[in-house]
Structure 1
Amino acid sequence: MTTTALILFAHGARHPEWAETLNRLCRAVRARLSDARVEPAYLEFMAPSLEDCAAGLIAEGFRRIVVIPMFLAQGGHLKEDLPKILAALREAHPQVGFELTGPIGEAEAVVQAMAAHVVTLAD
């Protein structure tokens, strides 16, 4: 078993169907990384929270958790809320390495994929 887990961290919404895109993304990543553990987590309105998701993974033996923000860009939640949550997780679980990536929307490949899609809408 790998000791690394990926958490796709999103804002969350009041409507349950909102999470379907993130669930589709988790399934797509799992299909490409068949031995990887990939789980969704949410800041608010939906479960699991980042704290609950991480706790479950830690209880299963994961010792490296990579948090990937499913946000278009840096904003208040990523600059203020997420660092506080990660600091608390690191303090509560010093045996676990928590890593934070940049927001998915700032990745050049994602920007280019969105641009390519927008171009198709102009035709």
Structure 2
Amino acid sequence: MSDTASHAVILFAHGSRDPLWRLPMEAVAARLARRAPGLLVRCAYLELTQPDLPTAAADLARAGATQVAITPMFLGAGRHVREDLPALVEQLKAAHPGVIWTLRPPVGEDERLLDLLAEIAAEQSLE
């Protein structure tokens, strides 16, 4: 994905009532924004935390995004990723037809993340 202002990423997570829960998500968003300064980056949540996906998506459309990749920040592809999220993305396509919405696989399906998690667990087991 290019780092022009017309491109954007939404980091999509479940959400929690605990306000501290969102800190790692926001840290990922900040790191992504530093790596690609022209890229529009937002966090969005399924429930219990704001903004929700339609709100973050509308914000990006207003900001001029024409291509938005939605990255599910889930380790596994449960019902929310398999059913709820695709339905939400279809709603975004209808609400913002001038934007190309791409639903990425959940981060937990990426071999690099799985390797890193195994590495962290192995290091911690040796402490």
TM-score by length of 2: 0.93
SS at match of 1:67: strand
Counterpart in the other structure of 2:100: 97
Shift in Å, 1:38 = 1.2
Q: How many residues align?
A: 123
Q: 1:32 aligns with which of 25, 31, 35?
A: 35
Is 1:67 aligned with 2:70?
Answer: yes
Equivalent-residue separation in structure 2 for 1:33 and 1:56 (angstroms): 19
Runs of 4+ in 1 over 2 A off after TM superposition: none
Counterpart in the other structure of 1:115: 118
Is there any run of 5+ residues in structure 1 with no aligned partner, and where? none
- Contact kept, 8 Å, 2:6 with 2:66, in 1: the verdict is yes
Percent identity for Structure 1 against Structure 2: 35
State the Cα RMSD in Å.
0.9
Shift in Å, 1:2 = 2.1
SS at match of 2:123: helix
TM-score by length of 1: 0.96
Is 1:84 aligned with 2:68?
Answer: no
